[in-house]
Amino acid sequence: MTSPEFHVFLPQMRMDFDALVTRAVTAEASGFTGLALMDHLAPPMAESHDMWEAMIAASWLLAHTDRLTVSHLVLCDSLRHPAVLARQAVSLDHASGGRFELGIGWGSVPTELETFGIGSTDAKVRVSRLKETLEILAALWTGETVDYEGSHFTLKGAQQRPVPTSRIPLIVGGIGKRTLELVAAHADWWNLPIYGLDRLEELRPKTGNARLSVQFMVTYIDDESRRDEITALATRRFGHMTQGEQLIIGNAEEVGAHFAALRDVGVERFYVWFTDFAAPDTLAGFGRDVIAPLTNP
């Protein structure tokens, strides 16, 4: 059985770049394989807080780590022309020695597109645009001359060099019919939303050869005497997100059992979003007591 990967989900808000680097370096040293950022024009439900741009933050963290894969859950397709995105991704791929992965979706917060006057809020339009983006990325990354005529984009004699160092892994998430078609056609990783876990057996055959990942919010209990305090703080910070299967609360044994059960049904990667904002001590303890036993049994 393949050992699962663990990536820390680290929204680049509420902290400065030094704090982000500290967490990335600690995650790398603690056994995490990767780190994923978010992509918004304003932090959802926290618009007044500071937040850093997604691709610049990824560049900075790749420059300050040696082995960690950096990606996003996920880049919003509407925010970048596919030719710009193709060039950005290849640049990060070469600069990092192949450690950049491209997570992309058609936008989880359509209201921000309306607020900032960018693109359409219509779901059918956005998923259609994403389809064209994925097709254009694949074409440009060959290094050959590209002619493309779509509903959203037209390329005439377009070419980009250099080509990627190797295939840039693509991450696409969702369970809608058209999204699953894009997963099957283009993705290396299918990120299954929590609300679709009970449909895994039904949906898995529709995702082609894409490998399976899942994101969880975790409240990690590293001191049983503080269980009530830690749980109460997580609830206060995240409110409705701390209900049901969206949140795992537990010590190393409890959390490890949860991940082991999902590994046994085929989940190969876990994105872990810590409710204490990935405090370095939490990352180190989680790596030692959860990741190590699951990846080195």
- The structural domains of the chain, with segments of one domain joined by +, span 5-211
Q: What integer pLDDT is reported at residue 239 of this predicted model?
A: 67
Element (H, E) at 146: strand 146-149
pLDDT at residue 241, rounded to an integer: 60
Q: Tell me what pLDDT residue 245 has.
A: 55
Distances (CA, A) of 222 to 93, 95, 242, 281, 283: 36, 37, 18, 9, 11
Distance CA 87, CA 75 (A): 15
What is 5-211's CATH superfamily?
Luciferase-like domain (3.20.20.30)
> pLDDT tens per residue, the chain (297 residues)?
678 999 999 999 999 999 999 999 999 999 999 999 999 999 887 888 999 999 999 999 999 999 999 999 999 999 999 999 999 999 999 999 999 999 999 988 899 999 999 989 999 999 999 999 999 999 999 999 999 999 999 999 999 999 999 999 999 999 999 999 999 999 999 999 999 999 999 999 999 999 999 999 999 999 999 999 988 888 888 866 644 457 889 999 999 999 999 999 999 999 999 999 999 999 999 999 999 999 986
Q: Give the per-residue pLDDT at 45.
A: 79
Nearest one of 69, 85, 87 to 77, comparing CA atoms: 85
Q: Could you tell me the pTM of the whole model?
A: 0.95
Give Cα separations from 269 to 4, 51, 67, 157, 195 (angstroms).
5, 26, 17, 39, 17
- Rounded to whole angstroms, what are the CA distances from 291 to 30, 90, 101? 8, 30, 21
